[in-house]
Structure 1
Amino acid sequence: MAADLTSQGAERPLLYLIDGSAYIYRAFYALPALTNSKGLQTNAIYGFTTMLTKILREHQPQGLAIVFDEKGPTHRHEEFKAYKAQRPPMPDGMQAQIPYIHKVVEAFRIPVVRLQGYEADDLIGSLARQAEQAGYDVAIVTSDKDMFQLLTPAVRIYDPVKERWFDEADCRERFGVEPGRVVEVMGLVGDATDNIPGVKGIGEKTAAKLIAEFGTIEGMLARLDEVKPPKTKTLLTEQAEMARLSRKLATIHVDAPIEFHAEDYRVKPLESDQLAPLLRELEFHSLLRTLQVTPAETEALGEGLSLLHDRPDLQRFADRIRQTGSLVLACVLSEQVPVRADVLGLALSGPDADPVYYVEGPGSGFDPLLKDLLSDQAVLKAAHDLKPVWLALKREGIDLASPLFDTMIAAYLLNPNRRSHSLETVALDTLGYQLRGVRMGGPAEPPVDLFTVQPPPGAHQAGEAATVVQRLVPVLREGLEAQGMLWLFEEVEMPLVPVLAEIERQGFLLDVSALEELNKELERELDRMMGQIASIAGGAFNINSPKQLAAVLFEKLGLKPVRKTKTGYSTDEDTLTQLASQHELPAQILNYRSLSKLKSTYVEALPNLVNPETGRLHTSLNQTVAATGRLSSADPNLQNIPVKGEYGLRIREAFVPPPGHLLLSADYSQIEPRILAHLSQDEKLIKVFERGEDIHMATAVEIFNLPPDRITKEMRRAAKTVVFGILYGISPYGLSQNLGTTQAEAKKYIDAYFERYAAVKAFLDRTIDQARERGYTTTILGRRRPIPEIASADPVQRGFGERMAVNSPIQGSAADLIKLAMIHVHRRLRDELPQTKMILQVHDELVFETPEDEVERAKQLVRSEMEATGEKLGLSVPLKVDLGVGNNWRAAHP
């Protein structure tokens, strides 16, 4: 940022004037309702701060000011009581963000201009004129069309969202007149946003034509006899005074009682010590990195990195680690995919403030000593994101043995709502420290001599990471203990890491040839569908072009549009679903899109993701993504493989075991309703499961008041929707949408359910009340989920929080339960049936690859261990596991 008002290579200095009030509104409505983990809505703050950052970094202004509206009436309100009267009050979600925006501006050290009785437009206009007269060029940062009246050869408008500059020529193109006559056009047209009435019946084209001919409103009113057509003359005659008033209201005053002094608007260095903690509180981590702000007094960690030069050095280090019982490590990998990565080196340290050492990858000859240390079950191994480290070391033949401490998972447990749990983010949030180094991993570096004096590539980054982890461990452990989650961390999440790593390492075999054949079949089917669509539409068109599709639907076929966007009438999925009841073409388009997505997302994409070394798909199962505690799958996402529809099931047929093996699928039956029965202690619901009844059938009997033999499949399906609607805190309106029935009917179903299971209703109400009081919910094992939205003043956000409060203890407990089951099953398979491998988890389902001669024993072991997990947790209802066996995933799914 320049320190004076002199442009490099420019004859005149440049001043930026930002329309602050307008950009707060623009950011609020342009971005989704982002919140930080404490529930503060942050979309307006984020959008505003991003805009400031963009201008400061990309434009490097020499002079800058932000102009805000001041509360209270202005002279326009005195002249016209209805001025801006129709504007709704500021939304609650925006109101709470305003103080933070002012804090951001203060931390950026940007001058603020506001004055009682004057709008921001008048202050901007006055400053612009004074700066221009003082010899400066001015950039008005706004999207307000009113500002076009201020354009001169020295004053331009900049819209950072659209990345556009506007000058006098743009004004003539936009309004049909020069800037000085924009207020004349606006006096005729008015402004609905500000409730400026204008002349009813005169549009912008007519107004521009009239002003081009007569020059001004007064000039036109003086020559009314010349105005044509007669209708326009009549409108002007009847509304002459309103035209004069509207022109006056639209005029930006450039004589506000403020003075421009260049020295007051110099751009100053931002306040790092003020801005860094503010951005951390708001959880704007990408902006922190972009701005590279960190408290000045924070020292760089990992600077004192030492190389371990020989075996005696490493032996002394190993002895020290065994004495302390704790090892911190950071692994430098050759690439981002751990199952294919080589270990380039390891940064190693003990607890507390022990020095950090670096050794080259296991190929250096140190591997026997490293292997002994890393596989020592008396030593706690700590790292950030341990699973990739575990996988990469396993590839080198080294076992990273428990006990483990993953600072990423610990930080996630303490703040599951945080969007990122990277080491950079956790270090900033927990220690107030910003990492200096780059991310580890990436392309392999050339081999280096272990005995060189200088540390090899990646060593300093790894040393910094190890030092940060070293400092994080005691802080995070203390937090877990304080929140009652240390047992969950040590007995569930940490033992699960090697289980998930083994699943990822094993992978899932894919029949690529089967998908290639299916791809050809889908191409033929899509071609057939295109022909059918063209026939229905009366001609061929580009199905993937929203513009062409809209023309066919709304112009050619005459269907009524549902929703308009900035680019035209919407043709999204919701719109087509609504239109499908009016015409068969939207339904056919939906079918085409669905099949096309299936083809591109799975049939074509999955073969390209097969690991050439193994011939298998290796997904990544993530413990730190879903706030409920559920595992998620990525790269590729195997939890989203379709389970319905013929073509979706055909995709599942391509997931196969190797020769001589079968797939075994084990699926918890109705796990969430069972957990609800336990948590609510509803005796009637508990008895349903004790008797081994189908909960959805039992619910159908209650809500339809019919005996079981008269319950149809459709009734049971509706009852299932009601059951899961209850679990997710659904409203009568939401249930009516899902069932395709009236709200009254949906409410009757919900009331019937709660009448039968009254203790469930009491539990749900109690859970919401407790979440409102505490700010979080807990699972059976003590997993916390903060729900700050439940205390929001915004009713939409508050309702969302109440639904989360209902579902999180149930879904989170189900997640905890299957994690425990995975740990127990994995241990028994390792000890008793080592050839049977767990290869995937999909929510309530576990998939195994087992030799044909072990199938029956594997079935018995898996079922007994999964069902016994409920007893170990002390559940009040028995668990039931459905098993299926087959030569592909479709056939094995129970």
Structure 2
Amino acid sequence: MTTDSSRKTLYLIDGSAYIYRAFFALPALNNSKGLQTNAVYGFMTTLLKILRERKPDGIVVAFDERGPTLRQQEFKEYKAQRPPMPDGMSAQIPYIHRVVAALNIPAVKQAGYEADDLIGTLAQKAEHAGDDVVIVTGDKDMLQLITPHVRIYDPVKDKWSGEPECVEKFGVEPARVIEIMGLMGDASDNIPGVKGIGEKTAIKLIAQFGTIDELLRRVEEVTPPRIKAMLIEQADNARLSRKLATIDVNSPVEFDAEAFRVKPPHQDQLTDLLRELEFTALLKTLQPAAKPAETPAAALTIIQDEPSAERFVAKLPAGSPLAVQCLLSGGSSIRADVLGFALSSGGQTAFFPLDVHTYMRPITTLLQDQSRTKVVHDLKATLLAFHRIGVTIAGPYLDTMVADYLLNPNRRDHSLATIALEAVGHRLGESHSEAKAPQSLFDEDTGSRDEAAEQAMVLAQLAPVMLERLTAQGSLKLFHDIEMPLVPVLAEIERNGFLLDVEGLTVLSKELEHELDKMMGTIAGLAGGEFNINSPKQLAVVLFEKLGLKPGRKTKTGYSTDEDTLTQLATQHDLPAQILTYRSLSKLKSTYVDALPELVNPDTKRLHTSLNQTVAATGRLSSTDPNLQNIPVKGDYGLRIREAFIAPKAHTLLCADYSQIEPRILAHLSQDPRLLQVFEKGEDIHMATAMDIFHLPASQITREMRRAAKSVVFGIVYGISPFGLSQNIGVPQAEAKKYIETYFEKYAGVRALMDRNIAEGKEKGFTTTILGRRRPIPELQSGDPVQRGFGERMAVNSPIQGSAADLIKVAMINVSKALHHEMPHTKMILQVHDELIFEVPEKELDEAKRLVKHEMEGVGKQLHLSVPLKVDLGTGHNWRAAHP
């Protein structure tokens, strides 16, 4: 392209082509409402890349219009082989048009014409008007449009094509590309060409004869005879194909230089659309920075003494929500120090440098005012931090992080910055971007102070928006009755912690070290020499070259030595089994035996896990730093690790475990008569299932049969396949399939429930629990059978697992309330899925057992379950002994 500073550059985007490219190139992204968004995302990022990197003077997007084209009237088979547009793509088309409109980019389409024709016409008109033109496409057909002032750009490959590139590819100038296309055809558009002539032959023929017309006129000169015969026989096809491949540069589309100039986006439209699509990263990039006037610094009150605190409180409207934002030092919530905090209510915002002696009395009264909802982001962290300085915050609470989790359970990012941007269009921290995290809170450290104040102000704005959204979704009752009352319970569990026998683990560590050293000698003997056991490469050499074992799955770096492979190889040789045992013991030592003592809090001498309320989409709690829900429950060394979790002197541990909670919820949801009968009679569901699938009386059911039946029961809940079940219980796939089929014959109500859950999930886009917790499952709408199958398993399982999660949360709230009222010295110290663990003074043990069992089993009646709940209790001075 010749350069001339006076010429403007117009970019013409092949919109329809990039919709297809984005859809098939990107994985099936979805927003929380179930809309597939990969094509929109890919298309939009392409546009933004062009605008950002190429800085065009003008830009236009061309789309195909629905309905038959002139080419299809000419040749009915044109593009006839193409499958219909996938549903996941067609649903995104209106959003792509909205993206183009929001970015204020002109779009053109015309009945009967393809996007190529509109681009060709505009390119020619723009060039005649004195513009340079860049056609954005990956379609080789467009090469025919190249001129000294028209180039092709493919942003996916970051590749430019002008006249030299066209000649290099096809051996002819751009105008004669259609001659080559006429001979070779185009399978993607079903243009026939001359069957038997490929690209190389077509290029050679046109280089020799110039055009199809000239080639056919001098066809007798063509060699070999086979090619000549093809051309004579298919001459009409060649002419037709050239016509179909020729882009119409005279389509009825107008060139308007001024209308096509790049203009600023329609910011409100763009922001609303990005929020709807949940393109958080793009929203952060494209949302304009907050204006200085929008930040609270100018109106911020700094509280220095009790009179100024009293004046601030006096200005607040009675009963108005109170936003609270702590400024914390680094570290875990249990150890974080409060450096100060900001409060905002009724348009008033104040920052409080921490000095409990000078102003905390009026503020304490304010924080304990039960007529005000306390709006906090990550309430648990705030409760834990305030507890360290002797401050309590009374409910009712509105935790924006938990609220966003209920609204968007599939999303990982529930940060205040993300929620503020999406819900109220406020970008946090723009005016303080140079401020650094505080080391201490001196008067001059205004950056951190202003950030906390801004966050409090935004929390006050968020409160009504989040409540409105929870109400619209039908999640407000779940939020108020379960999730908010649970937060103080979780904070208390974390604060209580679990006592650890550090000396016992030190002894166990030395024992394991000795055992591992001994195993290394055994392994070296079996391998015929020493090697690095932790090196997959060296292990592969030993197994497959030295010992000659049959290799399995191959990876990029060589043959796999993963757990599945070693398990299969263990039937051929003793070495793989020894490696598996070595790996298992080594992991136990590093992950638990050596790591746990390092995580003991030096102040309390206890382990304080973090129970996460906003991670698992099912509603389950997770445990981190350390993960105490993952402490091994099997194997000698695993059980000895549990022995290290102990009760202090004159106390004992009480473990209360819901028995068969998911099968009971399955019975309630399915209303299957056989399942209901089993639980009403107090029978063992796994024994009953074994009797049903093996057609035997209880006296003839072996331990292995009951175990197989248990796998069937839980496999059904998790949507297991015959293959998966066969792997779990070690039987042929046909036999596993028979077990599943027999189960569904006996428990037809379960099959009906599964079908109903999948159908409702597809119709609504989500499933719900007994208490109305939503789980969006966009995978149910996927065109990919693997993704759709995954979605169907989630649709089966989520209502059951989610209801179990809701149920244990209700139990935790009820038990905590009862303990505070009746037995304040008994502490809840951990939750592990269906199990609650308590630290009980020995003299209170009998009463604690009664209270805990009564409250936990009472949840069934509270939730109107159709079957009774059963809680198994266990006690002991360590976790292993106390496990029921």
What TM-score do you get using the length of structure 1 for normalisation?
0.78
- Distance, in Å, in 2 between the alignment partners of 1:531 and 1:718 is 38
Relative to 1, partners in 2 of residues 1:225 and 1:756: Cα closer, same or farther, differing over 3 Å? Answer: same
Distance in 2 separating the partners of 1:496 and 1:689: 29
Which residue in the other structure is 1:783 paired with?
772
1:533 maps to a residue whose letter is A
Answering whether residue 384 of structure 2 is matched by residue 395 of structure 1, we say no
Q: 2:857 aligns with which of 867, 870, 875?
A: 867
Task: Map Cα deviations across residues 462-501 of structure 1 (whole Å, 9 max, x no partner).
Answer: 3343333334435555665677755543342222112222
2:63 to 52, 64, 68: 68
Matches within 5 A, 1:849-888: 862-863=852-853, 865-882=855-872
Provide the secondary structure at the position in 2 that maps to 1:338.
coil
Aligned to 2:709: 719
1:625-704 → structure 2 map (5 Å cutoff)? 625-634=615-624, 639=629, 649=638, 656-657=645-646, 666-704=656-694
Q: Tell me how far apart the structure 1 counterparts of residues 222 and 562 of structure 2 sit (CA, whole Å).
A: 50
Tell me how far 1:421 sits from its aligned partner.
4.0
Report the equivalent of 2:123. 128
- Whether contact under 8 Å (1:301, 1:468) holds in the other structure is no
Residue 29 of structure 2 aligns to which amino acid in structure 1? L
Whole-Å separation in 1 of the counterparts to 2:801 and 2:366: 39
Matched letter for residue 348 of structure 2: P
Within the alignment, does 1:844 sit opposite 2:827 as a pair?
A: no
Q: In the TM superposition, what are the counterparts of 1:365-384 in structure 2 within 5 Å?
A: 365-367=358-360, 370-371=363-364, 373-375=366-368, 380-384=373-377
Q: Does the Cα contact within 8 Å between 1:772 and 1:790 map onto a contact in 2?
A: no
Q: Which residue of 2 aligns with 1:333?
A: 328
Identity, in percent, stands at 56
Distance 1:81 1:800, change over 3 A: same
What SS is found at the alignment partner of 1:264?
coil
The code of the aligned residue for 2:386 comes to L
Amino acid aligned to 1:343:
V
Residues 764-804 of structure 1, C-alpha deviations (whole Å, 9 max, x = no match): 66667777888765544x33426586996979798877765
1:228-307 equivalent positions in 2, closer than 5 A? 242-243=237-238, 245-292=240-287, 304-307=299-302
Q: Please give the alpha-carbon distance, in whole angstroms, between the structure 2 residues aligned to 1:220 and 1:50.
A: 45
Cα distance change of structure 1 residues 448 and 95 upon mapping to structure 2, 3 Å threshold: same
Q: In the TM superposition, what whole-angstrom CA distance separates every residue of 1:674-700 from its partner, at most 9, and x where no partner exists?
A: 122234444432332244433123122
1:37 paired with 2:32, answer yes
Structure 1 window deviating more from structure 2 (884-893 vs 386-395): it is 884-893
**Matching residue's letter, 2:668:** H
Task: Encode CA deviations 1:824-843: one digit per residue, 9 max, x unaligned.
Answer: 44455667777765454332
Structure 1 residues 60 and 201 mapped into 2: Cα distance closer, same or farther (>3 Å)?
A: same
Residue 359 of structure 1 deviates from its aligned partner by 1.2
Q: How is 1:426-825 mapped onto 2 (pairs within 5 angstroms)?
A: 426-427=419-420, 431=424, 444-445=437-438, 447-449=440-442, 456-474=446-464, 476-477=466-467, 486-505=476-495, 526-527=533-534, 530-535=537-542, 537-538=544-545, 546-549=555-558, 610=599, 619-634=609-624, 639=629, 649=638, 656-657=645-646, 666-712=656-702, 715-728=705-718, 749-750=739-740, 752-760=742-750, 778-780=768-770, 782-785=771-774, 806-825=796-815
* Aligned partner (choices 125, 133, 136) of residue 138 of structure 1: 133
SS at match of 2:259: helix
Deviations 1:544-566 (A, max 9, x none): 994454xx79xxxxxxxxxxxxx
Larger radius of gyration: 2
Match of 1:19 among 14, 24, 36: 14
- Cα deviation per residue 1:204-252 (whole Å; 9 max; x = unaligned)? 5666666667766667774776646x87677667656545544443344
- Give distance in 2, aligned partners of 1:533 and 1:415: 45
The one-letter code of the counterpart of 1:783 is G
- Kindly indicate whether the alpha-carbon contact (under 8 Å) linking 1:272 and 1:295 is maintained by their aligned counterparts in 2: no
AA aligned opposite 1:278: L
Structure 1 residues 117 and 762: alpha-carbon distance in aligned structure 2, compared to 1, 3 A threshold: closer
Over the aligned positions, Cα root-mean-square deviation in angstroms equals 5.4
Check whether the contact 2:609–2:625 (CA below 8 A) recurs between aligned residues.
yes
Indicate conservation of the 8 Å contact 2:316/2:348, yes or no.
no
Q: Distance in 2 between matches of 1:495 and 1:167?
A: 67
Whole-angstrom CA distance in 2 between matches of 1:192 and 1:516: 69
Task: Decide whether the 8 Å contact of 2:658 with 2:872 is kept in 1.
Answer: yes
Q: Measure the CA separation in 1 of the matches of 2:764 and 2:547.
A: 60
Residues 656, 853 of structure 2: 8 Å contact kept: yes
Maintained 8 Å contact 1:335/1:443: no
Offset of 1:17 from its aligned partner? 1.5
> Which of 107, 113, 120 is the aligned partner of 1:112?
107
Pick which of 277-286 and 156-165 moved more.
156-165
Shift of 1:868: 4.0
> Any gaps of 5 or more consecutive residues in structure 2?
524-532
**Partner residue in 2 for 1:358:** 351
Query: SS at the partner of 1:331?
Result: strand
What CA deviation, in whole Å up to 9, does each residue of 1:800-837 have, x standing for no partner? 77765554443232111111222344455667777765
Give the direction of change, closer, same or farther, for the CA distance of 1:767–1:210 in structure 2 (3 Å limit).
Answer: closer
Asked whether the equivalents of residues 785 and 808 of structure 1 are also in contact (C-alpha less than 8 Å), the reply is: no
| Structure 1 counterpart of 2:527 | none
Deviations 1:319-362 (A, max 9, x none): 67796385321222334743343323222134xx2412221234
After superposition, what is the alpha-carbon deviation per residue over 1:510-534, rounded to whole angstroms, capped at 9, x for unaligned? 9797789979959968447644522
Residue 659 to residue 57, structure 1, CA distance change in 2 (3 Å): farther
Q: State the 1:253 CA deviation.
A: 4.1
Larger deviation: 822-831 or 521-530? 521-530
Distance in 1 (CA, whole Å) between partners of 2:205 and 2:79 is 27
Out of 69, 72, 80, which is 1:77 matched to? 72
**What residue is the counterpart of 1:562 in the other structure?**
none
In 1, Cα distance between the equivalents of 2:163 and 2:608? 59
Deviations 1:13-42 (A, max 9, x none): 322211111111222223333333333332
Matched position secondary structure for 2:341: strand
1:563 aligns to what?
A: none
On the 8 A contact 1:437/1:460 being kept in 2, the answer is no
| Unaligned 5+ runs, structure 1 | 1-5, 554-570
Alignment partner, residue 526 of structure 2: none
- Measured after TM superposition, the shift of residue 366 of structure 1 is 3.5
The CA deviation at 1:85 is 0.8
Output the TM-score relative to the length of structure 2.
Answer: 0.79
Q: Which moved more, 1:305-314 or 1:481-490?
A: 481-490
In the aligned structure 2, how far is the partner of 1:829 from the partner of 1:409?
A: 25
Match of 1:88 in 2: 83
Name the stretch that deviates more: 784-793 or 804-813. Answer: 784-793
Residues of 2 paired with 1:278 and 1:377: CA distance? 38
Superposed displacement of residue 266, structure 1: 0.2
Residue equivalent to 2:399: 406
Letter paired with 1:123? L
Paired residue secondary structure (1:15):
strand
Residue 194 (structure 1) shift:
1.7
CA distance in 2, matches of 1:784, 1:57: 42
